[in-house]
A = this chain, B = another copy of it.
């Protein structure tokens, strides 16, 4: 325990405490993700008032070094000594073109099966972060308590209780949604696919962010649609001026955007931009398919709003799922497709009649009992800590010119590497060492991002991850020289 004698005057006491803590962070005595003492403990420890202790934390928080987490206290957030630059925004060729990314993606999903791989490629939270025991309980409950033990078809639109729970989830982003407005799907990608089919036909043009999730590009290609890529900023999301220009140039029939914690950039469009985006698409009467799959995985105090929140004309077709936040294997997604409800329901019926009865009933039970909200609180904290640990390792192991995104949610990092690096070769090389990453090129229909990679930080920090990133860093260093 220290005494007041360490300090030279009450006015700067909080600054001195803060500086002391900052030094400990810089020297990694306090590491990213570590919990700081409570305000009361700090005050007792340094022999300062509670107010001064609070001021010290407030100061450090303002500098981005620590953060408060609701009902939990303060945590080390970042070590600013060598913060890498952000990846560049690319202005994609302003031409609509056929998507052709098929060949490139085929190899990625085979990683699912590989067991001995350090998988930075698959964008899912690690199974250890998922509440499988409680999920099991909900399955057994559903088996016992659903009519005919779930052997019958569920409604095409989906289990009513599950839709009630999904409608309730919309409260989180300020939405007022009725269960009748929701359609349950087999994952978010199916929801996007069906929304696309409901509003666009062969040969139509669709706007997407650049870079964007390759599944979206593939869905568009498979329907014979063309794509216009909209320049997207790693912090602010899609460039709305660029979008308006594209709308003037092309007959855009729909937009498919991931406004919150975009995959792969991690960018989160500010609420004002979301509002503006909805104004633009409303003015031009263009449906917006909003992929909000990462929306609940925010690291900040508040959940970001959705575009759907600002929708007045039923043009926003909201899509989400539990695959990124609870369980990929259950394949539970949904859409709230506004005025296109009947068309999308029709598409669901034609595709596979309905989603499985059992998994829907189980999820309804899980959500109804507040287990999802409880789980999310823990998951957000874990992912936030993981994001910081991963970035720190990248700073440590990767070349100094590596540029890294700063996601405030989700579990994906976007890295822009030295121009000499061919990310496809990097992937091949890394796979020889049983490490998988996703090359950036597949996130665009054009010939962009060939020196970019996506890294998932869904896996909790451990020795394997540390060694994996070190190895990856070394491979990259070798490719530059």
Instruction: Using CB atoms and an 8 Å cutoff, list the residues of chain A in contact with chain B.
Output: 102, 106, 109, 112-113, 122, 124, 127, 130, 132-133, 135-136, 139-140, 143-144, 148-156, 185-187, 189-190, 193, 197, 201-203, 215, 218-219, 222, 224, 323, 327-331, 346-347, 349-359
Contacts and interface: CB of A to CB of B under 8 A. Distances in A.
Contacts of A144: 136
Contacts of A139: 139, 143, 358
Contact of A202 (B109, B133, B186, B202): B202
Nearest to A354: B331
A201 B106 CA distance: 21
B352 A331 contact: yes
SS class, residues of chain A in contact with chain B: helix
B222 A202 contact: no
CB-CB nearest 8 A-B residue pairs = A329-B357, A132-B149, A127-B148, A202-B202, A190-B352, A186-B352, A151-B327, A331-B356
Contacts of A140: 140, 143
Contacts of A150: 132, 327, 329-330
Nearest to A202: B202
A189 B331 contact: no
Given A352-B190, A356-B331, A224 B197 contact: no
Contacts of A102: 346
A10 to B, nearest CB: 54
Given A202-B202, A331-B353, A358-B359, 6 more contacts: A109-B353, A187-B352, A193-B352, A222-B347, A328-B353, A330-B358
B149 A136 contact: yes
A129 to B, nearest CB: 10
- Count of this chain's copies in the oligomeric assembly: 2
Contact of A349 (B109, B130, B350, B351): B109
A153 B112 contact: yes
Contact of A328 (B153, B323, B330): B153
B356 A329 contact: yes
- Point out which of A153, A190, A218, A355 has the most chain B C-beta atoms below 10 A from its C-beta: A153
Contact of A135 (B130, B149, B154): B149
B136 A143 contact: yes
B350 A218 contact: yes
Contact of A193 (B186, B187, B350): B350
15 contacts: A109-B349, A112-B153, A112-B155, A127-B152, A133-B149, A135-B151, A139-B358, A150-B329, A151-B327, A201-B224, A202-B202, A218-B349, A218-B350, A222-B347, A331-B353
A351 B331 CA distance: 12
Contacts of A127: 148, 151-152
A121 to B, nearest CB: 12
- Point out which of A197, A346, A359 has the most chain B C-beta atoms below 10 A from its C-beta: A359
A329 B189 contact: no
A152 B136 contact: no
Contact of A352 (B124, B133, B152, B189): B189
A232 B331 CA distance: 39
Contacts of A215: 350, 353
A451 to B, nearest CB: 26
A358 B346 contact: no
A427 to B, nearest CB: 18
Nearest to A128: B148
A225 to B, nearest CB: 10
A354 B186 CA distance: 9
B350 A222 contact: yes
A186 B356 contact: yes
Contacts of A351: 189-190, 193, 351
A405 B185 CA distance: 37
A139 B347 CA distance: 29
A132 B148 contact: yes
Contacts of A323: 153
A64 to B, nearest CB: 34
Contacts of A328: 151-153, 353
B113 A155 contact: yes
Contacts of A122: 153
A24 to B, nearest CB: 38
A176 to B, nearest CB: 25
A128 to B, nearest CB: 8
A331 B355 contact: yes
A187 to B, nearest CB: 5
A219 B135 contact: no
Contacts of A222: 197, 347, 350
